[in-house]
Amino acid sequence: MSDTDHRNSPNIVLLIDADNASPSGIDPVLTVLAELGSVNIRRVYGNWRKQSLKGWADIVHRFGIEPQQQFDLTKGKNATDMKMTIDAMDLLFRDRVDGFGIMSSDSDFTPLAMRIKQAGVPVYGFGSAKTPEAFKQACSRWIDVDELIRAAKEDDSPKGHGGEKKRAVTKELIDLLLDAYGQSKRDERGFTKLSEVGQRAGNRSSFDTRNFGFARLSDLIAEVPNFTAERRDDGQMWVKRLR
């Protein structure tokens, strides 16, 4: 990326709750956010006296992450959430921010994600499979970090993508895609742009293909028997419902 492209790309903030996020996920998380813009602000929050945060402390400089110290104000309860929320609101209203990444599996960040979205700024949530549904749905997109880590390991393995293991396509997912297709504009043959289906599915939920083990929506749709797809001369993928 040239200096000009870097200046013109969206400004993305990444805020990390060290108590509720694994340091092993930082590399794939940054890779995902790099597709959306330049991750110029990277902060990780925690009480660095805790031995449990050593994994984060060991990598902050390697990934250009600014550690934020927050002492526990009451025994058994940390104040990280409040500090992180205050900083997020300061950044939202003080700086030009085009997107927020929140790396945490803590449902306490649900109101923060909803408030940022209300300001017209997308929120990209990164957490484990145990993340409460409320936080997942509050995000513009929510991505399972465990899936990112698994995919990254498979890419590095001798098998590469050939050994990729995908999740089962659930009825809930199929219903979401069918609803999105039904709301999309179709041509005289009943085909609609795959990008529009993806956009409408994203508007209905925190849908992201990576959570199902697929790098691209086109890969996912190929595994759904309810659709047929074709790539047209303009390079765009179009899909049609079969049943």
Structure tokens at 130: 């145990």
Other CB atoms within a 10 A radius of the CB of residue 5 amount to 9
| Angstrom distance (rounded) from CA 110 to CA 224 | 31
Query: What is the phi/psi pair of residue 41, to 5°?
Result: -115, 120
Residue 147 neighbours by CB under 8 Å, 6+ apart: 210, 211, 212, 213
What's the sign of the alpha-carbon dihedral 181, 194, 146, 158?
positive
3-state SS, 51-91, equals: HHHHHHHCCCCCCCCEEEECCCCECCECCHHHHHHHHHHHH
User: What is the domain partition of the chain in residue ranges?
Assistant: 3-156, 166-241
Check: pTM over 0.85? Answer yes or no: no
pLDDT in tens, 91-147: 999 878 999 999 999 999 999 999 999 999 999 999 998 999 999 999 999 999 998
Structure tokens at 81: 């959430």
| Strand-pair partners of 149 | none
Q: pLDDT truncated to tens, each residue of the chain (243 aa)?
A: 444 444 578 999 999 999 999 999 999 999 889 888 999 999 999 999 899 999 999 999 999 999 999 887 666 556 788 899 999 999 999 878 999 999 999 999 999 999 999 999 999 999 998 999 999 999 999 999 998 888 777 665 555 444 455 566 778 788 888 888 888 888 898 898 888 888 777 766 667 777 777 777 888 888 888 888 888 887 888 888 886
| Residues 53 and 145 sit within 8 Å (Cβ to Cβ) | no
Structure tokens at 221: 């749709």
Parallel/antiparallel/unpaired status of strands 141-144 and 192-193: unpaired
- CATH for 166-241 is 3.30.420.610
| Angstrom distance (rounded) from CA 223 to CA 164 | 14
Other CB atoms within a 10 A radius of the CB of residue 204 amount to 12
- The C-alpha torsion from 124 through 127 and 129 to 132, rounded to 10°, is -80
Tally of CA atoms within 13 A in the half-sphere of 66 that contains its CB: 11
| Residues 20 and 105 sit within 8 Å (Cβ to Cβ) | yes
- DSSP characters over 166-221: PPP--HHHHHHHHHHHHHS---TTS-EEHHHHHHHHHHHS---GGGGT-SSHHHHH
Q: Which CATH number fits domain 3-156: 3.40.50.2300, 2.30.30.90, 3.40.50.1010, 3.30.9.10?
A: 3.40.50.1010
What's residue 226's pLDDT? 86
